[in-house]
Amino acid sequence: MHARTVVAIGCLAALAAGCSPSHYTADADREVYGIVADTSAKTLGRVHDFTVRPTVDLPDMLETARSKPRIPAPPVPERPEPAADAATEPGATFETVVPENLPPPVPEPGPAAARLAMADTLRVAVRASRNYQAQKETVYLTALALTFERYLFRPHPFATGTVDFVNEQDGGRQRSWDPTADVGVTQALADGAVVAGGLGIAALKYLNRELGDTVDSALEFSLTQPLWRGAGRKIVQENLLQAERNAVYAIRTFARFEQEFAVGIASQYLRVLQQRDVVMNNWQNYLSLKRGRERAEWLAKAERMAEFQVDQARQDELAAYNSWIVERENYTNDLDAFKITLGIPVTAEVALEPRELDRLGAAGLQQREFDLEDATAKALGTRLDLANTREGLEDANRRILIAEDGLKGDVDLVASMGYASRATHPQSARISLTRGDYAIGFDIDLPVDRLGERNALRETQISRQVAARALDLARDNVVLDVRRAGRRLEQARESYKIQQRSVALAERRVDSTQMLLQAGRATQRDVLEAQRALLTARNALTGALVNHTIAGLEFEQDVGTLVVDEEGQIHGWILTNDGR
């Protein structure tokens, strides 16, 4: 095979490989990730490891969570003893309803399950959550649109060609090959001018040797410059500017989403643990009422308590057992729903770390000294969503200028210059640069019909009014968010203190009423009411602790000071500090 043929085939193969879909995908990723990194650095002052490729390996992530040192699991209360008999006549004891073999107080997965602390859960969420991935893809697509706007102001090379085989029968059989090729480049300039240059070659090769061959070539240049409508850098580069601002908005929106996402995951995590605590409290309540019912039956046998009071104890024990079953099922459902939020299969063996609530309780309420006026002023300057709305008003003002430019007429300067090959040498494609043709003129379209442009102007003017009202509303909402979050934080702190006193009083009340019942100075109803009050107080105490924690996170989120890293960790929070 001829050496030049081999080289040509190699070049074509390399070109085909370079234009494969994987090449274009990698090229798009490189440019988009660069835009995201640069925009993040300029807008937020930090750069995250950003990618939209699904790289999550859930089994490895859960295995990493399993291998980490664990906080000791809380002790499991002993189960009630199974019933000795099962009487069916009226007045039968509670064992006729409760199964002999009760399940564990709280559903627990097997020993191979991954027990996720808060920090582990946030890491899993940012890698596996479907919503998180969708938000990253929105950022990617916004940056991808910017690449096209930048592309419009780059040189655009082109290369086209045709090869025709002609077989003519008229006036004798004539067969010929007719190849043509055009190569060149076009460039749009920042002020609206478009310049182009191209080289065209046309050849005619007859198979009838007596007819001879011809080769023609031409070198052409052209320029189009708007002078009235569509002229000027601000007008020409508006779409590019808007695309760049859209990239900034997308980065801010994603950073705001990261804050809300981390707070949402943390809140749902704590709510699931709160429900688990409710299950344990109901279990303890059931055990206490079971022992109370046994005491009541003993007192009734000793003729120291009426039978109807024993029935009250039995009925409350039955209600406590039912409440435990219901709350246990609610906990299972909440945990499964949380797995879906994280992006974990519902069937995955996962448990949340129950001692995270103990860590919160041991740390006590985190005192956040703040002034609402200062916090409000800070939020107005730092909230990323408000910054987007504020700059959206600037976009609306620019769109009015663009619409006003559309009312103008078109006056374009058009110029061209061309050089052709020598006519005296039909078999040569050499171009003569000593003689060329040129043309210059104006394309004019006066603004005599501008109804569409008039309507576009009014639309932009009204859109500007809408944007101004949206900014006013956004400011008011930020102020409302901060004030409401601050009041909610204060209320949660007071509620927690109240519930602490309430639990202490409820425990003392249970002890005192049981002692008075033994002495015959209280009724079974008094004991049962005290027991219900204790259950309510314990559940309320856990709820107050969780509410205060969530209120603190939401306050920082609403002020805009919450810092979340690329692993979803909330800076400065005890539950996302791995140094335990």
Residue with tokens 């040509």: 8
Residues 6+ apart with CB under 8 A from 248: 39, 42, 43, 391
pLDDT at 224: 94
pLDDT reported for residue 404:
96
Tokens of 149: 């706007």
At 89 the pLDDT is: 42
- pLDDT for residue 530: 87
Q: What is the pLDDT of residue 80?
A: 44
Distances (CA, A) of 418 to 199, 285, 450: 10, 96, 36
The size of the chain, in residues, is 580
Q: Which pLDDT belongs to residue 60?
A: 64
The pLDDT of residue 151 is above 60:
yes
Asked whether the beta carbons of 117 and 353 are under 8 A apart, the reply is yes
Q: What is the pLDDT of residue 49?
A: 84
Q: What is the pLDDT of residues 351-386, one digit of tens each?
A: 999 999 988 888 877 766 788 899 999 999 999 999
Confidence of residue 29 (pLDDT cuts 50, 70, 90): very high
Q: Where are the domains of the chain?
A: 1-47, 51-153+236-408+450-576, 157-188+193-229+410-445
pLDDT for the residue 292: 84
Dihedral of the CA atoms 461, 466, 467, 471 (nearest 10)? Answer: 150
| Mean pLDDT value of segment 19-45 | 92
Report the distance separating Cα 280 and Cα 130, nearest Å: 32
Q: What is the pLDDT of residue 426?
A: 54
Q: How far apart are CA 246 and CA 233, in angstroms?
A: 19
**What b-and-e string marks burial along 250-279, b requiring 16 or more CB atoms within 10 Å of the CB?**
bbbbbbbbbbebbbbbbbbbbbbbbbbbbb
Coil, strand, or helix at residue 286? helix
Query: In CATH, what class is 51-153+236-408+450-576?
Result: mainly alpha
- Which residues in 462-494 are b (16+ Cβ under 10 Å) and which e? ebbeebeeebeebbeebbebbbebbebbbebbe
Q: What global pTM score does this model have?
A: 0.85
Q: Following DSSP, what letter does each residue of 363-411 receive, concatenated?
A: H--------HHHHHHHHHHH-HHHHHHHHHHHHHHHHHHHHHHTTSPEE
DSSP 439: E
- If DSSP states are collapsed to H, E and C, what string results for 453-464? HHHHHHHHHHHH
Instruction: Copy the structure tokens of residue 310.
Output: 């024993």
Q: What is the mean pLDDT of residues 329-337?
A: 95
Percent of the chain residues past pLDDT 70, beyond the cut: 83
Judged by DSSP in three states, 42 sits in helix
Q: Among the residues of 406-429, which ranges form H helices? A: none
